[in-house]
Amino acid sequence: MQDCNVSMLWTADGVIVVEASGEIDIRTSLAFKERLFALLDEEAAPVIVDLRSAAHVDTTGLSVLWESAKRCGLEERKFSVICAGGRVRHALATSGLDQFVATHATLDEALGHGGPGGSSTQ
């Protein structure tokens, strides 16, 4: 089992990028939620959650993403997720969350700097 590590960086575009790595599951999702919501409380900028380094996201992790997306929507700010593929992308697709949250394969794509692939469903 891997812990979930969360870090934040700013882009030149003024967007918060939250990088999550490890496993986001029932054991780690509360800490993930607390860290993500603390960042949402601190800043009113658009948010991109980068899950390319996440090994696994279970339903509790998906729930945190859904709650975060809803919160950003109520605050009229953009929320999107980066995941290149694999188990995490499969979890987003299987749950249907990718139909409500913008998903992208790369950071450039999420920032709107072009590039094919991904989706922009939001």
The pLDDT score that the predictor gives to residue 50 is 95
Q: What is the residue-averaged pLDDT of the chain?
A: 86
pLDDT for 17 equals: 92
Amino acid code (one letter) for 51? L
Task: Quote the DSSP letter at residue 98.
Answer: G
The helix/strand/coil state of 113 is: coil
pLDDT in tens, 81-121: 999 878 999 999 999 999 999 999 999 999 986 544 444 44
16-30 pLDDT, tens digit each: 999 999 999 999 999
How much is the pLDDT for 117?
A: 42
Six-digit token pair at 65?
A: 């993403």
Identify the structural domains of the chain with CATH numbers, from first to last: 5-110 (3.30.750.24)
Highest mean pLDDT out of 12-21, 38-47, 56-65: 56-65
Task: Report the pLDDT value the prediction gives residue 12, as an integer from 0 to 100.
Answer: 67
- pLDDT surpassing 60 at residue 67: yes
* Sign of the alpha-carbon torsion through 59, 97, 43, 7: positive
The edge-to-edge listing of strands for the beta sheet with 102-104 is 5-10, 16-24, 47-57, 79-82, 102-104
Work out the average pLDDT over 49-60: 93
